[in-house]
């Protein structure tokens, strides 16, 4: 790795050190119980004097290779081959790009009553409603905190998240405030009983890009799990939704919704579909305004 770029790898237990990648810099986070999880680490690293001298920095989890299929050197090679961007990010869960209007809507299938809380958060923080209701193109999805960015981007992003979180204590309803910190978010026990807080924060990245369109140039790198060629239905669904978004066609968006319903019924079963179909389908199609500048080489995955 060049001296101008540094990627930290976070570990929380001694036994996780064996899983760390030699291309990254180990970051010991043992004993930090902050409910903000990775955001807490980002804030601590951003205060280190040395990161201000770097061209880019990032911090990924000890599960980076497991979740993306990429070695650390693969990520470093991607950065070297595509210089000049303000931020590099990925989405190791490509099915979300194909099946959901946006990541806020997708959250409803993983975290009970997520959209109810998200609407309160948006109102409290004055966030643009289009980010919550809009039909996102695939390039905007970032379902992991695996991004590497310039110090200027990091400072702006962390300030944005801080302002959003700072608005919530006074403006959320008592029920919303209790829900935000409730472990009900992890009803399946997949995230160590995490509250809703980190799941809200991780979705703020894409919302930040929308709110700052025209200011930053982004590169969305492919992971092994980004590739959809093994599932032709997901590939076609992603392409159909992207085309509907591009040409702003309500008819094509409706066709995508119908195709998606058939696919979800086949994959999850009709009881699952009856439970979530109405929740994950906004009453009206909302197309986004001008999009952020994001390079996403999805044609390599076709």
| pLDDT over 50 (residue 302) | no
Q: What is the mean pLDDT of residues 12-29?
A: 94
Q: Span 246-260, mean pLDDT?
A: 96
Q: What residues contact residue 45 under an 8 Å CB cut-off, 6+ apart?
A: 8, 27, 51, 57, 59
Q: Which band of pLDDT confidence, cut at 50, 70 and 90, is reported for residue 185?
A: confident
Report whether pLDDT(256) > 60: yes
Residue 1 in this model has a pLDDT that exceeds 60: no
Q: Mean pLDDT across the chain, nearest whole number?
A: 91
CA distances from 193 to 38, 66, 72, 108, 190 (A): 15, 21, 29, 17, 7
Are 211 and 127 in contact, with CB atoms under 8 Å apart? Answer: yes
Indicate the DSSP class of residue 139: G
Both tokens assigned to 7: 């990627």
Residue, of 253 and 190, whose pLDDT is higher: 253
Those residues with Cβ within 8 angstroms of residue 207's Cβ, 6 or more apart along the chain or in another chain: 127, 128, 131
Residue 3: the pLDDT is 55
The pair of structure tokens assigned to 75 is 């990520």
Contact by Cβ (8 Å): 147, 87: yes
Q: Is the pLDDT of residue 6 over 80?
A: yes
How confident is the model over 183-204, as a mean pLDDT? 82
- Which DSSP letter does residue 54 get? S
**Least confident range of 137-146, 168-177, 292-301:** 292-301
| Cα three-residue angle 210-216-218, rounded to 5 degrees | 85
Residues 6+ apart with CB under 8 A from 272: 264
Q: What is the pTM of this model?
A: 0.92
At 268, which helix (H) or strand (E)? Answer: helix 250-268
Q: How high is the pLDDT of residue 36? A: 84
- What pLDDT, on the 0 to 100 scale, is given for residue 148? 97
User: Strands of 87-89's sheet, edge to edge?
Assistant: 25-28, 5-11, 56-61, 148-149, 87-89, 217-220, 293-295
pLDDT digits (tens, 9 = 90+) for 93-133: 989 999 999 999 999 999 999 999 999 999 999 998 889 99
> What is the share, in percent, of the chain residues with pLDDT greater than 70?
95
Please state, as a whole number, how many other Cβ atoms lie within 10 Å of the Cβ of residue 223: 23
Q: How far does the chain reach from its first CA to its final CA, in angstroms?
A: 30
Give whole-number Cα distances, 242 to 79, 103, 167, 228, 259, in Å: 26, 15, 33, 15, 14
Six-digit token string for 246 = 């591009």
Summarize pLDDT for 21-72 with one digit per residue, the tens. Answer: 999 999 999 988 888 888 999 999 999 999 989 999 999 999 999 999 999 9
> 300 pLDDT band (50/70/90 cuts)?
very low
């Amino acid at each position: 790795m060049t001296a101008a770029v540094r990627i930290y790898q976070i570990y929380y237990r001694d036994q996780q050190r064996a899983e760390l990648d030699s291309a990254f810099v180990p970051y010991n986070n043992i004993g930090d119980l902050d409910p903000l999880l990775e955001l807490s680490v980002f804030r601590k690293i951003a205060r280190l004097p040395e990161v201000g001298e770097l061209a880019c920095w990032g911090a990924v989890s000890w599960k980076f290779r497991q979740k993306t299929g990429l070695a650390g050197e693969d990520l470093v090679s991607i950065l070297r081959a595509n210089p000049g961007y303000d931020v590099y990010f990925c989405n190791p869960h490509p099915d979300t790009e194909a099946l959901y209007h946006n990541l806020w809507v997708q959250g409803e299938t993983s975290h009970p009553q997520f959209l109810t809380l998200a609407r309160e958060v948006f109102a409290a923080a004055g966030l643009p409603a289009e980010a919550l209701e809009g039909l996102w193109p695939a390039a905007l999805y970032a379902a992991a905190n695996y991004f590497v960015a310039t110090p200027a981007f990091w400072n702006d992003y962390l300030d944005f998240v801080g302002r959003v979180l700072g608005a919530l204590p006074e403006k959320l309803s008592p029920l919303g405030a209790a829900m935000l910190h409730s472990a009900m978010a992890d009803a399946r026990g997949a995230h160590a009983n995490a509250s809703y807080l980190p799941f809200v924060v991780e979705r703020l990245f894409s919302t930040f890009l929308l709110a700052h369109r025209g200011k930053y140039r982004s590169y969305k790198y492919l992971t092994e799990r980004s590739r959809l060629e093994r599932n032709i239905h997901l590939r076609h669904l992603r392409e159909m939704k992207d085309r509907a978004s591009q040409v702003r066609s309500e008819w094509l968006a409706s066709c995508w919704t119908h195709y998606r319903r058939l696919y979800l019924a086949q994959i999850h079963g009709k009881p699952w579909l009856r439970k979530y179909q109405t929740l994950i389908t906004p009453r009206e199609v909302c197309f986004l305004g001008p999009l952020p500048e994001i390079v996403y080489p999805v044609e390599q995955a076709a």
